[in-house]
Amino acid sequence: MYIEYRIYDTTSNLKEAKELSDSIFNKYSATKVTPEFDSAKPVFSVIIIKNKESIGYIDLRNKIEDKFNGNVEVDVGILPEYRNKGYGKMLVAKLLEEVKVFQEIKKIYWTYKNTNLASKTLAEISGFKNKIDLDENQTQLIFKNNY
């Protein structure tokens, strides 16, 4: 198995990262979280590539649009045919390892729908904590980037 990662931070081409993540996302055409979140700019992205094919992405986006205050929100997706094979876990681990040096990113929020067991499990096993019930349908977890 040949896995590579492409990492985008504020010094690299986040527009390219957004296009890549959108193209992966569009392939499985799920519904985006909210229009505001969708238009928020990614500040950090990792793409996972298997045998030269981009199979998944994780973006960190400004939690409050236009105003970076160290709080970011996760958007993650793996192409359907590659799910439940450990790629999501590898991708999140890579993101958390790479983001360590970006101490301006303080808290990473992960919001999942309570029916989305894959998202919930992935967040929990990746070390996201401090569960908050946003409403009866959605839960939020936080990862503190303070090493």
Ligand X SMILES: CC(C)(COP(=O)(O)OP(=O)(O)OC[C@H]1O[C@@H](n2cnc3c(N)ncnc32)[C@H](O)[C@@H]1OP(=O)(O)O)[C@@H](O)C(=O)NCCC(=O)NCCS
Residue 109 within binding range of ligand X, rule CB under 6 A: no
Which residue, 116, 142, 120, is CA-closest to 130? Answer: 142
Among the listed residues 3, 64, 101, 117, the single contact to ligand X using CB under 6 A: 117
| 48 near ligand X, rule: CB under 6 A | no
Q: Of the two residues 64 and 117, which places its CB atom closer to ligand X in the complex? A: 117
Q: Does 137 bind ligand X (CB under 6 A)?
A: no
Q: How big is the chain, counted in residues?
A: 147
List 46, 47, 76, 99, residue binding ligand X (CB under 6 A): 76
- Do residues 87 and 49 make contact, with C-beta atoms less than 8 angstroms apart? no
Phi-psi region of 141 (alpha: psi -120 to 50; beta: other; left: phi over 0): beta
Judge whether 46 and 98 are in contact, CB under 8 Å. Answer: yes
- Under the criterion CB under 6 A, does residue 86 sit at the interface with ligand X? yes
The footprint of ligand X (CB under 6 A) covers 30, 74, 76-78, 83-89, 112, 116-119, 121-122, 125
